[in-house]
Each structure stands twice: as structure tokens, then as C-alpha cells.
Structure 1
Amino acid sequence: MRCVTNEAAEETNGRTLPATSWAVLGLLSFGEELSGYDLKKWSDWSLRFFYWSPSFSQIYSELKRLEKAGYASSRMVAQETGTRDKRVYRITDEGMTAVRRWAREAPVDPPVLKHGPMLRLWLGHLLEPEQMREVLVQHQEFAEKMRRRAVADADGAREEASWAYPTLTLKWAERYYASERDLAAAMLDDIAELESARGAAPAAEPAPAPAPGKPGKRP
């Protein structure tokens, strides 16, 4: 285990670690000794459905940060002849205490919705109706694909007793993507209703945005 000075730990203590660091430390909190490759697989099985789909470079950056804080330790493990040795990581006692405290005491940030199809719908006056429908159909297909993957990963996670709560999270993901799929279908119906109401009349030109500081109607 690396020796970590108090100064280094203070520089990256629990008050300054980003949420992504806690996510990686949370993966280690299940008690396994994991390589960066393992952590990538585990995050793709669970975290990507609701929070983060990290690259390998992001994972290793977070692991360095956690080692500097004294929350994780690493060692090299010899591999078969001709294969490069790999580094594996384990959570430290300090890390377990810190992530438990963070999970119990840190404020829970509300989700921030960054929804590409909704943004495109907001700009629907700039698209042809068929283009808008295609965006929503593609979103339906994406949501259903993610729902099916969440179901499959939840089935696999049930084999591990320690993954009871991640399995519940995958069930949440399944329900979330099912609702996204159904919302897209409902929006297709809304668009059809809007087009029917407009009939063959040409679309009106969009109103100019109000100048800053002046009252105006919101879009």
C-alpha cells in the first residue's frame, strides 16, 4: 500500500472529490480487487444506465485521485508468460469510511435533464414533420434497446447477493427507459394531432425572441 501524507489527503479529501470519484470508489466498495478493465466492465453493467459511461482514461484518472486521497491502494499482479502484468485496486479502510459517510450524509443532487430529442422537439418549427417523427421513432428504438439491456444485466446481477441494490437500480433503469419509450409514442400521437389541427395551412413564422431585460412571452 502506498504511503499517503496528510497533506495529500487534505488536498483530495471528501469535501472536494467529484461525484465521479465517489462512483468509482463505490464500485470498489463491494469488496472486490479490480483492475481498470474490470471497473470499466462493472460500470458498463450498471452505472451507464443512470449516471456515467466512463472511458478507460476517466477511470484511471479517478483511480489516481483516490490513491492520492488514501481511499484506494493498488498492486501489480503477475500474469501468464507473455502477458503484461496488471495493476489491481482495492478500497482502503479510510476509503470505505469515506464513501459510507458520503452515501449517508452528502446532499443528493437532483437529476439534470439533458435530453436531445426534447431539444429537437423544441425546435420543431425548423424541421419538416417527417424529420421530427423520425427523431422520436429513433428515440423509441433507443429506449427499448436500453430497457432490454437493463433487464439482461439485472438478470446477471441477481446471481451476486452483494449486488441486491444495484439490481434494484437496474429495475429502476428498466422502468425509466420503458417510460421514455412510451413518452415518445405519446408524443408521436401529439404531433399527429397538431398536424391534423393545422390541416394544410402553412406553418407560422416563429416569433422573435424578446430582447434581454424586456418582458415577453415564453416559448
Structure 2
Amino acid sequence: MTNRQKWEGTGPRDLPATAWAVLGLLSFRGARTGYELRKWADASLRFFYWSPAISQIYTELRRLERWGLATSRTSAPQEPRRYTLTDAGRAALAAWADGVDDPGPPVLKHPLVLRLWLGHLATPETLRALVERHLARTRDELAEVRGALRRAERVPQWAFPRVALAWSERRHLAELALAEEMLADLARLAAAGPATGA
């Protein structure tokens, strides 16, 4: 019997991606506060998906509790609530993760490329500066990904998150190569003379 067949809950079959991401964060051992989930999302999810805002995390936690997919408790009135996955939540998440439905194409929104697309309205100096700033930021992000990967390598239960982080490392390396090629393209355009705008 597959995980998909085991899940017989009455909750929504099409939770938003953020709900699945939060449920996924809860699937690792231990109870966590919304703030801790946000920190963990910043240390892992953001390298290959995105890190939801703290308000989004709490919105999804309330939704997941309503559907019986997560539960929470507090040890004292002033203490923050700590959330855990229920058995139903684990079954739903496993069915979703093990599902064969197409997750769809990645959504690419690259602000730098949008600006370059409108390069006929900008100066060559500005465009070069934007790409160089992007290169510097990507190098910093690559260092953060590598740090997260090193931390994940010390935890045997994080074998699959390591695969996702290794993909993110390769993506950042590819992004650096693409940005370097962008600088070369801009240099060729500059050498060719003024471009005609739209």
C-alpha cells in the first residue's frame, strides 16, 4: 500500500505550497515554535524554494491545526506554542511527497534579468554595476548554502535535505557562471556601439 493510499483524511487535497512547506518543517523530530520554524526555513528552504514570512507560517499553522494535521501545546501562559505533526499530518504529507502528480514548472522571477531586458533605457555603467552586485550577493549566498550543507552533513536524518542543499549549491555556481557571461555580453554590446531603444 502506498502513502497515497494510506491517507484517508478529510482535509483539503490541494493545500497551498506554503502549508506543505510548513508541514514539511514539522516532519522532522521535535516540537517547534513558529519562530523556530521561520529560522529553520531561513536556514534551509530559502536556498531552493522560499522562506515564508512569520505571519504566513502562523497562518498555515492555524490552518493545519484546524484540519488536524498539526497540534500545539504550551507549557506556561507566557511560553510560545510549540507545534508538532499529528499522525494524520504525517500521512497527508507522505501522500503528497510520494505523489506522482506533476509539481509543475519552476517559477522564475529574476529581477536582474528584467532590468537587463530593459537595458535600452539604462546606461551601460548601471547595468554592469547591477550584474557585479548580483555576483557579490550570489557569492555570499553560495557561502551560506555551503555552511548549511556542512551543518546538514553532521545530522544523519537530513540525508534528503542534503540532496536539496547540494542542488542549491550547484544552482548558485551556475548562477555565477551565467552572470559572468552576462558581463561578457554587456561588454560586447558596449564595444559594438549604442543600441537602438524601443
* Among 180, 190, 193, the residue aligned to 1:195: 190
Question: Secondary structure, in 3 states, of the residue corresponding to 2:56?
Answer: helix
Distance of 1:52 and 1:70 partners within structure 2: 25
Q: Measure how far apart 1:32 and its partner are.
A: 1.7
Structure 1 outlier segments of 4+, above 6 Å: none
Q: Counterpart of 1:178 in structure 2: which amino acid?
A: L
The residue that corresponds to 1:4 in the other structure is: none
* Alignment RMSD: 1.5
Deviations 1:88-142 (A, max 9, x none): 0110000000000001114312101100010011000000000010111111111
The residue that corresponds to 2:91 in the other structure is: 97
Flag the structure with more relative contact order, 1 or 2, with Cα contacts below 8 A and sequence separation at least 6. Answer: 2
Q: Contact 1:143/1:181 (CA < 8 Å) preserved in 2? A: yes
* Among 29, 34, 44, the residue aligned to 1:31: 29
Distance of 1:150 and 1:204 partners within structure 2: 40
* Among 165, 169, 177, the residue aligned to 2:172: 177
User: Taking every aligned residue pair, what percent have the same amino acid on both sides?
Assistant: 47
Unaligned residue ranges in structure 1 (runs of 5+): 1-8, 207-219
Q: Contact 2:18/2:52 (CA < 8 Å) preserved in 1? A: no
Distance of 1:19 and 1:78 partners within structure 2: 32
The residue that corresponds to 1:56 in the other structure is: 54
Q: Measure how far apart 1:171 and its partner are.
A: 1.2
Q: Measure how far apart 1:16 and its partner are.
A: 3.0
Aligned residues: 189
Distance of 2:64 and 2:197 partners within structure 1: 54
Distance of 1:14 and 1:150 partners within structure 2: 33
Question: Secondary structure, in 3 states, of the residue corresponding to 1:114?
Answer: coil
Question: Secondary structure, in 3 states, of the residue corresponding to 1:150?
Answer: helix
Distance of 2:157 and 2:131 partners within structure 1: 38
The residue that corresponds to 1:211 in the other structure is: none
Q: Contact 2:121/2:197 (CA < 8 Å) preserved in 1? A: no
* Among 38, 41, 47, the residue aligned to 1:40: 38
Q: Contact 1:31/1:91 (CA < 8 Å) preserved in 2? A: no
The residue that corresponds to 1:21 in the other structure is: 19
Unaligned residue ranges in structure 2 (runs of 5+): 1-8
Question: Secondary structure, in 3 states, of the residue corresponding to 1:94?
Answer: helix
Distance of 2:172 and 2:33 partners within structure 1: 30
Question: Secondary structure, in 3 states, of the residue corresponding to 1:34?
Answer: coil
Distance of 2:83 and 2:58 partners within structure 1: 10
Q: Counterpart of 2:195 in structure 1: which amino acid?
A: A
Matches within 5 A, 1:1-219: 10=10, 13-78=11-76, 84-105=78-99, 106-198=101-193, 202-206=194-198
The TM-score with structure 1 as length reference comes to 0.82
Larger Rg: 1
The TM-score with structure 2 as length reference comes to 0.90
Q: Measure how far apart 1:197 and its partner are.
A: 2.1
Q: Measure how far apart 1:144 and its partner are.
A: 0.8
Question: Secondary structure, in 3 states, of the residue corresponding to 1:17?
Answer: coil
Distance of 1:109 and 1:203 partners within structure 2: 37
